[in-house]
Amino acid sequence: MTPETLRLGFKLGFLLAVLVVCGLALSRSQLPGTEMLWDKASHFMAFLVLAFLLDYAVLGYWPKWVGLVLFGLGIEIAQWFTGYRYFELQDLAADALGVGGYLVLRPQVAKIPMLRSLRRYH
């Protein structure tokens, strides 16, 4: 698989993940049995995965991480306008921690053989 093909896969994966996150964040129904701790953990994991996909989909460094946290802020603002969801700073914090969690794992992720070919294009 060429680096260009692999990067395209990451771009499509990121786009799909963004659509899923938006759909879940703005849906009327809450997933059954989701308590506050699980809600924050799901925010953390979603943004950790988004950060991973974004890292290999788009070149650059700090602007993409700031953009991803701003995406989380946008979701919270959109939820506030729905009338059936709420703006929560704790959700935004969990989103930012998910991005930060990926940045901590990033050096280890870069050692995955399939991803090494993208590092020189990174």
DSSP 37-87: HHHHHHHHHHHHHHHHHHHHHS--SHHHHHHHHHHHHHHHHHHHHHSSS--
Quick one: tokens of 56? Answer: 């290999």
Which percentage of the chain shows pLDDT scores above 90? 67
Higher-pLDDT residue of 122 and 50 is: 50
pLDDT 10s digits, 31-89: 665 555 578 999 999 999 999 999 999 988 889 999 999 999 999 999 999 988 889 99
What is the band of 121 on the pLDDT scale with cuts at 50, 70, 90? very low
Q: What is the pLDDT of residues 29-42, one digit of tens each?
A: 766 655 555 789 99
Between CA 108 and CA 110 the distance in angstroms is 5
Domain range for 21 is 3-119
pLDDT averaged over every residue in the chain: 90
Number of domains in the chain: 1
Q: How far is Cα 113 from Cα 35, in angstroms, rounded to an integer?
A: 38
Q: Residue 101 in contact with residue 78, Cβ under 8 Å?
A: no
Sequence-ordered list of residues with C-beta below 8 angstroms from that of 110, at least 6 positions apart, any chain: 116, 119
Between CA 19 and CA 119 the distance in angstroms is: 26
**Distance separating alpha carbons of residues 77 and 49, to the nearest angstrom:** 21
